[in-house]
Structure 1
Amino acid sequence: MNGQPKRILITGAAGFLGSHLSDRFIQEGYQVIGMDNLITGSLRNIEHLFKLPNFEFYHHDVSKFVHVPGHLDYILHFASPASPIDYLRIPIQTLKVGSLGTHNLLGLAKSKKARILVASTSEVYGDPLVSPQAESYWGNVNPVGPRGVYDEAKRFQEAMTMAYHNFHGVETRIVRIFNTFGPRMRLNDGRALPTFIAQALQNEDLTVFGNGQQTRSFCYVDDQVEGIFRLLHAEYAEPVNIGNPDEITVEQMAKEIISLTNSSSKLTYGELPVDDPKQRRPDIRLAKELLNWQPAFSRLQGLEKTIAYYQALDKIDLKETTQIYFKENA
């Protein structure tokens, strides 16, 4: 990179995806400003960056006015609760970060003449009536159900982002993120894959909700980060799906994790949560054409890397990883 390093603000930087994005942009030679209110993120995810001269951290809630001194070239808006446990416990904060937080950051992008990429989600499709889900599908969302606070926050976020692009001419990008996994996930956060890993590593029974025949498609974090990096630098303002179209049932995935961890765990079954999507599979034709992107890691390769990461933690650390959220937000 010639001349002065590009300067990027990453909100939600202490979260799972935000921390990996911080790593990537540091590696690319950017000056990275991380911002997080730590309501679901953890400084453990970015503590290795604090010693670096091209990283700084702001402990701040983006739902309040956001000020960053100096110029900005890019903004990545990844601040948001992202798991059922999060947005069921803190529904108002979830709605505020998707609305007020997005408004604040779009305003910042406008004033700084910076390009902004906002993190949307496959949850904008709700419990889909079509598969795979393409960007042209408008979704099947229950706005007043328990998941509505997250789904509708993201849908509103997309609408506001496009309004700033169309009305104010702000350079905007929207990524619709499908299920992503890898090191630094918060285990036992209410999502199936990390919860299964936590249970399997502790030889506890794996809790499958419903009959386990609902499907998910899992993307390894390195692939997700690569897709986001390419989208930020692409000339395209409409939403783009980034995910792995390799579809698997939740029951099959549970059995796969038991096998990979050599666990003595068994499967147990519970009631399916309200409005839980029956199917998730991204249509990534647009990402292939626009970004020349597709997943490089298979689910198995990603799981092996992820499980090895958690197996390297001692048992105390593993327990703390699964419980730290509740201690910090009790």
Structure 2
Amino acid sequence: MSTSPCLPRDAKEIAEMLGDVASDFSGKTIVMAGGMGFLGRYFQGVFEYLNTNVLADPCRLIIADNLITAGKAGEALTESDNFEFRQEDISQGFEVDGPVDFIINLAGIASPYYYRAYPVETLDVAVNGTRHLLEMARDKGARFTFFSSSEIYGDPDAKHIPTPESYRGNVSCQGPRACYDESKRLGETLCYIYHDKHGIPTNTIRPFNVYGPGMQEADYRVLPNFASCIKGERTLKVYGTGNQTRTFCYVTDAINGFLRVIARGVPGEAYNIGNPTPEISVFELVDEIEKVLGKSIDKEVIEYPDSYPADEPNRRCPNIVKARRQLDYNPVITIEDGLKRFFDWTDETYNGEE
């Protein structure tokens, strides 16, 4: 039985969304760094489903992770004859025998709570780790995909929202978020250099607020934080003003977009992957959760705790025209449907303890 948090319904939907793109992975070898995190474990479930139900020849997945933030998820590898786990620190580099067709660099410390705790490690994995993997891609002749972040845009002014890939960003190189934001920007620059100088087919993905089953209860980002409070019947703590806005992308829509970039992205290009609507405030997010759960939820506005960076963007919303036109990417899961799937899962898996 699979230990991936990927819901069977989700895996089937992703396969249907992909259509003939899925066949690009048939018989291929994929190295996935950071493969025991939230997205990596979802990828495991999707590749397992594709191997069992879709692909003419199964793909081989080599999963590398140092487990620094994996928690209990690090104990559970999706069971498959075609998957291999290796505990590796990619910032130190590692070797893979035989051919490699795709390298996916998911490795990173995305939760503000954790990158505040591990700032140097956050820099190392995005810069040194990415360079080691790019050298592997150069040696193997593999396609390379780097997972960057919508954080590289910083805090855009209103005229740049929805934010296109062409926006250069407004990011401080000093401050509590700098270790994450600036390291992702430098990782993107490395991809550009290796494509430009060495002809490596690189792509960069900039995810926007992806959520879904598999997010750790101790992740500390807004939805896992709220879900843990609700499970434990505690008051929701809203940081800042509660008026900061985001769009939220359910994981099936995200994985569909990610795999389209990984398989067919134009070499050298970056892509926003997320859902451009609805853009809602944290207070409006609580309203949506109340509708899904059918009950009112107590909440209070508090100052940012010391463990969480206060300089978060006021708005974040992707322009996905490029991915729509070039990759036929089209997110379809509504906020209501996505939240229901997420909270159904957290109700079964979270313990509600602080």
**Rounded Cα–Cα distance in structure 1 between residues aligned with 2:237 and 2:84:** 40
CA contact (8 A) 2:77 2:85 kept: no
Q: Quick check: 1:165–1:172 contact (8 Å CA) kept in 2?
A: yes
1:261-317 deviations in Å (ceiling 9; x for gaps): 35564111112543211001000111110111111211111110111111123xxx5
* 1:222-301 to 2 correspondences below 5 Å: 222-236=252-266, 237-246=268-277, 247-262=279-294, 265-272=297-304, 273-301=309-337
CA-based RMSD of the aligned residues comes to 1.9
Distance (whole Å) between structure 2 residues aligned to residue 187 and residue 140 of structure 1:
31
Cα distance in 2 for residues equivalent to 1:235 and 1:49: 27
Question: Structure 2: where are the runs of 5+ without partners?
Answer: 1-22, 51-57
CA distance in 2, matches of 1:133, 1:3: 31
Match of 1:17 among 19, 39, 50: 39
Distance 1:43 1:190, change over 3 A: closer
Aligned residues: 317
Aligned to 2:181: 151
Q: CA deviation at 1:3?
A: 11
Residues 198-213 of structure 1 mapped to structure 2, 5 A cutoff:
198-213=228-243
- State the distance in 2 between where 1:171 and 1:49 align: 29
Q: Is the Cα contact below 8 Å between 2:26 and 2:59 reproduced in 1? A: no
Instruction: From 219, 229, 234, give the equivalent of 1:189.
Output: 219
Q: State the partner residue of 1:26.
A: 48
Alignment partner of 1:131 out of 135, 146, 161: 161
CA distance in 1, matches of 2:74, 2:347: 17
Q: Name the counterpart of 1:328.
A: none
Instruction: Provide structure 1 residue ranges, at least 5 long, that are not aligned to the other structure.
Output: 324-330
Give the aligned residue type for 1:283.
N
Tell me the TM-score normalized by structure 2: 0.85
- Deviations along 1:29-50, one digit per CA (max 9) or x if unpaired, are 3111111111112463783523
Output the CA distance in 2 between the equivalents of 1:235 and 1:40. 29
The percentage of counterpart residues that share the same residue type is 37
TM-score by length of 1: 0.91
Counterpart check, 1:79 vs 2:111: no
Instruction: Tell me the equivalent position of 2:351.
Output: 318
Distance in 1 of aligned mates of 2:351 and 2:78: 22
**Mapping for residues 80-99 of structure 1, pairs under 5 Å:** 80-99=108-127
**Partner of residue 69 from structure 1, selected from 81, 97, 100:** 97
Question: Residue 45 of structure 1 contacts residue 184 of structure 1 at CA under 8 Å; is this kept in 2?
Answer: no
Alpha-carbon distance in structure 2 between the residues aligned to 1:9 and 1:22: 12
Whole-Å Cα distance in 2 between the matches of residues 2 and 145 of structure 1?
42
